[in-house]
Chain A
Amino acid sequence: MALILNPNFAEAGKRYFNAYSPGDDFYEMLLTAHRDLSDEQSELLNARLILVLANHIGDIGTLREALNVARQGV
């Protein structure tokens, strides 16, 4: 499975009239998940989220690619 780096957010059954809407939906959801957390708690939430998503993706090759992309800009 090749790593997807084009916009890829969508919710099943939802109709979008603007291309930016699904990405903005996700971003709001992400920030809402962090609301009222301390910095330390936010860090923990992020770590847990990465582990959950990594397991969902499963494919080690894809995850290696994703880690490389993420690491390059740090």
Chain B
Amino acid sequence: MLKTYSYPKFEYRTPPEIASGQTLKVPVVVVGAGPVGLAAALDLQLHDVPVLLLDEDDTVSIGSRGVCYAKRALEILDRYGVGDAVCSKGVSWNVGRTFFREQEVYNFNLVPEPDHHRPGMVNLQQYYLEEYLAAQAASRPHIELRWRNKVVSVAQGCKAVTLKVETEDGFYTVETDWLIAADGARSPIRRMLGLEIDGKIFMDRFLIADVLMKADFPAERWFWFDPPFHPGQSVLLHKQTDSVFRIDFQLGWDTDPEEAKKPEHVLPRIKAMLGAFDKTEREFDLEWVSVYTFQCRRMGSFNHGHVLFVGDAAHQVSPFGARGANSGLQDADNLGWKLKLVMDGKAPAALLESYSEERIFAADENLMNSTRSTDFITPKSKVSRTFRNAVLGLAKDHAFGRALVNSGRLSVPAFLTASSLNTPDCASDVFTGRMVPGAPMDDAPVIDNGDEAWLLNKVGNRFVALYFADDANALDASTIAALSDLSLGSIAVQPLVITRKSGTVAGGIPHLEDPRGIAAQRYDAQQGTVYLLRPDQHVAARWRTLDAQKVRTAVARATCNA
């Protein structure tokens, strides 16, 4: 059906264990090669952990599915080596229009904030993201991808997990120290282990269609409340790449999904919609259509012994706000470095509890925001509909009304301010701004060896002590010695000096320049300010003066070694 995309078919090879009958022993298995499973494998390979990745299928996502990748996800994808591919293939949009019945209530222009590498979001069909991630994973020596390999049973011992895997050539057994379940909303692993996931089903259905426009159409996001061509419901139109637009029609609970999907019902709906704004007849082709319901729910804990749940397997949200794939990528980002430290015996298993705690905190924030959007978009009572319509009416003339219109809040990363891994600020160290302990790092333009670069591309994958100073040449010997010593502990901390003025930092310590002072401003830094940054680019601690002992104590705390 798709005219703009041909699905790759990944090669199946007969696993050698079928003939040999031997049990395959590996340190980590990831089940599910969707965006989150692939991300988890790529994160672990950054730490040189070999990964066996099993997937029951042999291609990418069918249909566009996840379409909006937000800034933080793009920054994570940069670490996995696919950020450029996603950003150059994806499309940016800035103009959003909100309609209520026949009228445009208001529009907004999301001008990107200057001096960040990545935009607030790009739109891209999920199959492209998966294709890029799969290609990247296939190119890595430490990742073995096995397509059309289906896990049919799972048993957890006290030190290892045993999987039985089915292929077209027969069965084999895998014994793994760690299992990462990235096998989606219906997670067979979760079911086979008898684990619960609690929440609620929303009594609503949505029809989603990928439509190929034959003529130019503005790269905008259009959201309709109660439009004349689809009364009482909501409709969303979003631009994707290759002139393919994604349209989501709210159907309500009583509509027969199979009937709704039929072209004779879909086509008139889309036609009416595309002409509704400016009465222009637009030709289009239907590429893909599907009907979905959604649930808002999460597991009570994302770690169970040696099994770790990521992405939709652990938590599911409504689609408003693009919090599914985006939050799943952040799960992988949070888990990789922690699992590596535990596997190496450098951190206790409690560090994996913190994976669950931090990502549950984020999942609850995502559930809250997406539920609020759902309640606004699809009011469930007369009074909530009245309030919704009143907000839309006020939005036309008043800024406070526009701020209350909730057609989906863009996915932003959680500020992990309550995490036990953070070291709170000392009472005597006064800071302003957003970069509190637990915050996901803000990006900033920097100069690295004379070349323009981005701060976020210079940190990550390891602990970093970011030391702010005015003059690179003026660092005293004791500071240099203290910074150099940080890289010596069993958990190394990479020192990184960032200065306003150019020059040379003694002792061969890596050095960035911040000539416009943007990094210093975003981190509220002064001469001597130090930030301890986690491998996943969250702030762990910060001080106004460098004290190596305090840095070591904070590293111990951030790794559950305190």
Contacts and interface: CB of A to CB of B under 8 A. Distances in A.
Nearest to B375: A31
B317 interface: no
A2 to B, nearest CB: 13
A4 B398 CA distance: 10
Interface in B423-472: 434, 439
A18 B383 contact: no
Contacts of A6: 399-400
A28 B403 contact: no
B382 A39 contact: yes
B400 A42 contact: no
26 contacts: A4-B400, A6-B400, A7-B400, A7-B403, A8-B400, A17-B412, A17-B415, A17-B434, A18-B409, A23-B403, A23-B404, A24-B369, A24-B404, A24-B409, A27-B376, A27-B391, A28-B375, A34-B383, A34-B384, A39-B383, A42-B381, A43-B383, A69-B397, A69-B398, A73-B393, A73-B394
A37 interface: yes
A19 interface: yes
A28 B403 CA distance: 14
Interface in B349-402: 369, 372, 375-376, 381-384, 387, 390-391, 393-394, 396-400
Interface string B467-503: 0000000000000000000000000000000000000
A30 interface: yes
A55 interface: no
A5 interface: yes
Contacts of A18: 409, 412
Residues of B in contact with A, size category? 20 to 34
Contact of A20 (B383, B390, B403): B403
A24 B372 contact: yes
A30 B393 CA distance: 18
B406 A34 contact: no
Given A17-B415, A24-B372, A24-B406, A31 B400 contact: no
Contacts of A24: 369, 372, 404, 406, 409
Contacts of B400: 4-8, 23
Interface in A1-36: 4-8, 15, 17-20, 23-24, 27-28, 30-31, 34
Query: Which has the most chain A C-beta neighbours within 10 Å: B382, B383, B384, B398?
Result: B383
A8 B399 CA distance: 10
Contacts of B399: 5-7
A31 B398 contact: no
Contacts of A28: 372, 375
A46 B383 contact: yes
Contacts of A73: 390, 393-394, 396-397
B interface majority secondary structure: helix
A69 B399 CA distance: 13
B387 A5 contact: no
Interface of A: 4-8, 15, 17-20, 23-24, 27-28, 30-31, 34, 37, 39, 42-43, 46, 69, 72-73
Interface string B284-323: 0000000000000000000000000000000000000000
A5 B403 CA distance: 11
Contacts of B417: 15
Nearest to A26: B404
Contact of B384 (A5, A15, A31, A72): A31
A31 B376 CA distance: 10
A17 B413 CA distance: 10
A17 B434 CA distance: 7
A73 B397 CA distance: 10
Contacts of B372: 24, 27-28
A19 B403 CA distance: 8
Contact of B409 (A20, A31, A34, A46): A20
Nearest to B412: A18
B468 to A, nearest CB: 22
A73 B387 CA distance: 13
Most central of A27, A37, A39 by chain B CB within 10 Å: A27
Nearest to A34: B383
Nearest to A4: B400
Given A7-B400, A69-B398, A37 B375 contact: no
Nearest to B389: A73
Instruction: Report which residue of A8, A17, A18, A42 has the largest number of chain B beta carbons within 10 angstroms of its beta carbon.
Output: A17
A5 B393 CA distance: 14
Contacts of B406: 20, 24, 27
B294 to A, nearest CB: 19
Contacts of B396: 73
Nearest to B436: A15
Contacts of B376: 27
B383 A37 contact: yes
A8, A31, A43, A72 — most chain B CB neighbours (10 Å): A31
A19 B519 CA distance: 22
Contacts of B404: 23-24, 27
Contacts of B434: 17
A42 B382 contact: yes
Nearest to B394: A73
Nearest to B382: A39
Given A7-B400, A17-B434, A42-B381, 19 more contacts: A6-B399, A6-B400, A7-B399, A15-B417, A17-B412, A20-B406, A20-B409, A23-B400, A24-B369, A24-B372, A24-B409, A27-B376, A27-B391, A27-B406, A31-B384, A43-B383, A72-B397, A73-B393, A73-B396
A19 B110 CA distance: 14
A8 B390 CA distance: 17
